[in-house]
A and B are shown apart, each in its own frame.
Chain A
Amino acid sequence: DAKTTQPPSMDCAEGRAANLPCNHSTISGNEYVYWYRQIHSQGPQYIIHGLKNNETNEMASLIITEDRKSSTLILPHATLRDTAVYYCIVRVTGTTDYGGSQGNLIFGKGTKLSVKP
């Protein structure tokens, strides 16, 4: 799986949009971008994933650049409960069993997002 680069920490005011960037310049054509978050020692929580089109669900939006070398996770109206470490992960997704590619997630250090009142 390709590596990602994220800022170690970010602050956001409550009620404002939180925009979390991720660089993945070596991403392959068959790799998706996944976002998870971990709220203080709880199990990592799946947020969203995408390949090349922008994606939105009830939790967040994912914007992927046209060259797919970077992406941004957007929490539209951050609350105090969104304070967490956010992990950007790139990985193969699909039914094809790619040789040498394992199914596990590779976590980096992520971005610690602090939402402040």
Chain B
Amino acid sequence: DSGVTQTPKHLITATGQRVTLRCSPRSGDLSVYWYQQSLDQGLQFLIQYYNGEERAKGNILERFSAQQFPDLHSELNLSSLELGDSALYFCASSVRPKGDTQYFGPGTRLTVL
């Protein structure tokens, strides 16, 4: 158990819908990262927050957004969902914004029908 929690474990929805994925970092970690893993793309970095502020962006679509709240939990919002958004979404956390070991949560499996 890494100490990072993610909810829900599974999510099934239809195209065009909007969903919210939630992540709680390890106690004491200020930085949260979101990654997407689809069959054909492997693990891809989406976005990073540090202490409530956006820190870095990766291959995140404009339809996707995220935020980190004062209690340090983070939410990833995915809207206008398409079939290709079906993937595993992982959250990771670390103490500092760079250089620290990242610990991953168990992931949310999103299926878009």
Which residues of A are interface residues toward B (Cβ below 8 A)? 34, 38, 41-46, 49, 87, 91-98, 101-109
- Cα distance, A34 to B92, chains bound together (Å): 15
Main secondary structure, interface of A, reads: loop
Q: Is the CB of A44 within 8 A of B104?
A: yes
CB distance from B76 to the nearest CB of A (A): 14
Interface residue total, chain B, C-beta cutoff 8 A: 30
Q: A42-B106, A103-B100 are in contact. List 14 more A-B contacts (CB 8 A).
A: A41-B107, A43-B4, A43-B104, A44-B90, A45-B104, A93-B100, A102-B45, A102-B98, A103-B55, A103-B98, A103-B99, A104-B33, A105-B45, A105-B92
Contact with A along B45-77 (1 / 0, CB 8 A): 100100000011010000000000000000000
Report Cα–Cα, A89/B51, bound state, in Å.
25
* Closest Cβ–Cβ distance, residue A107 to chain B (whole Å): 4
Residue of B nearest to A49 (CB): B101
CB B33 to nearest CB in A, in angstroms, measures 6
